[in-house]
Structure 1
Amino acid sequence: MVSLTINGKTQQFDVPDDMPLLWLIRDFAHLTGTKFGCGMAQCGACTVHLDGSPLRACVTPVSAVAGKSITTIEGLSADASHPVQQAWAELDVVQCGYCQSGQIMSAVALLKAKPDPSDADIDAAMSGNICRCGTYQRVRAAVHRAAELSKA
């Protein structure tokens, strides 16, 4: 039995200690915004926040996060009003959309650490998130826009 706080709600899960956090989130907490991409922490589709820092859920065993706070894409805002989500919609970043929850979670962490990031900061922070559709220019523009929205 593992206890986790996911999106502000503390829950108990009867799962094996070595189960990847991704499967707990998707199959037991029924939050499907976090995606499986590669299973090797290489693509970023499974990015969530652990106590506010980005984490690849596909390779993280639940035993490593017991008692901690997890935020998924669903936990950013109930109505997509988070500045990063607003910027993503405003600039029409999404093409197929599969990688975007991980992209957004990485962008949120970046803006928390660097509220006014440079292009180089964005490129470095987002480099671990792969987008097969190639929306990288729109992602960069949306991070800049989210920084503006966060200041307003």
Structure 2
Amino acid sequence: MGYSQEQTEFAESSPTLGAEYKAASEVANRFLVHWQEEHAEKLAKAVMKPLMDEIQSQVWDAFRDYLFCDTEYNAAGVMRDMVENSVKALIGGEKWANRKYISPEGYRTEEVRKTLAKLYADEIKDARIADLEKEVEQLNERLRWRYD
């Protein structure tokens, strides 16, 4: 087997490399094309698929964790608002709240009243006395203004 016309022309224009270099380069290129067609894509898929699957898994995990965290914050906020609104309703004298939580008509309200009385009886009594004393003082001031 001899060299092709192209290889011979290459050897004449590049005597240092010669026809052998051109022939070897062509063989290497044919092998590379064959390898790419037959093996490179399969190898790339085999190498990349686990990596891509892991990346996808990590992204989905991060997204799911974000959604759960956001849902947790939202649920906690709703629960906190419900508790605050119930306390405001009780303090504000809303009949439904008093009936539900502290009146004898409500479910298990005796325990709530008993617990509140144990925990805050003195504080509630003292605060109410202070409120009434302040109110008496304001009324006395009004009376002084009227009769002075």
When the two structures are superposed, what TM-score results if normalisation uses the length of structure 2? 0.18
Query: Which structure has the highest helix share of the two?
Result: 2
Structure of higher CA gyration radius: 2
Query: Which structure has the highest strand share of the two?
Result: 1
